[in-house]
Structure 1
Amino acid sequence: MINARPLSRRPWSLYLLALLFVGAGLLHFLKPETYLRIMPPALPAPRLLVLLSGVAEVAGGLGLLLPATRRWAAWGLLALLLAVFPANVYMLQIQAQLHIPAWVAWARLPLQPLLMWGVWHAAKPASR
Structure 2
Amino acid sequence: MSRSERSPLLLAGLLAAAGAAHFADPRRFDEIVPRGLPGTPRAWTYVSGAVELALAAGIALPRTRPAAARAAAAFFVGVFPANVKMAVDWRHRPTPQKATAYGRLPLQLPLVLWARGVARNARDAA
Q: Does TM, normalized by the shorter one, top 0.5?
A: yes
Bigger share in helix:
2
1:95 to 79, 90, 100: 90
Q: Name the structure 1 match of 2:19.
A: 25
Which aligned pairs between 1:59-98 and structure 2 lie closer than 5 A?
59-96=54-91
2:45 to 36, 50, 56: 50
Aligned to 2:63, what secondary structure does the other structure show? helix
> When the two structures are aligned, how many residues end up with a matched partner?
122
Which segments of 5 or more consecutive residues in structure 2 lack a partner in the other structure?
Answer: none
Alpha-carbon distance between aligned partners in 2 of 1:35 and 1:108, rounded to the nearest angstrom: 14
**2:59–2:66 Cα contact (<8 Å) kept:** yes
Q: Secondary structure at the match of 2:36?
A: coil
TM-score by length of 2: 0.87
CA distance in 2, matches of 1:54, 1:83: 13
**Larger-gyration structure (1/2):** 1
Q: Is the 8 Å Cα contact of residues 56 and 77 (structure 1) preserved in structure 2?
A: no
CA distance in 1, matches of 2:44, 2:4: 32
Structure 1: gaps (5+ residues) = 1-6
Please give the TM-score of this superposition, normalised by the length of structure 1. Answer: 0.85
Q: Aligned residues: percent identity?
A: 37
1:122 aligns with 2:98: no
Q: Is the 8 A contact 2:59 2:68 kept in 1?
A: yes
Q: Give the CA RMSD over aligned residues.
A: 1.9
Compared CA separation, residues 24 and 98, structure 1 to 2 (3 A): farther
Return 82-91 or 66-75, whichever deviates more. 66-75
- Give the counterpart of 2:35 among 37, 41, 48: 41
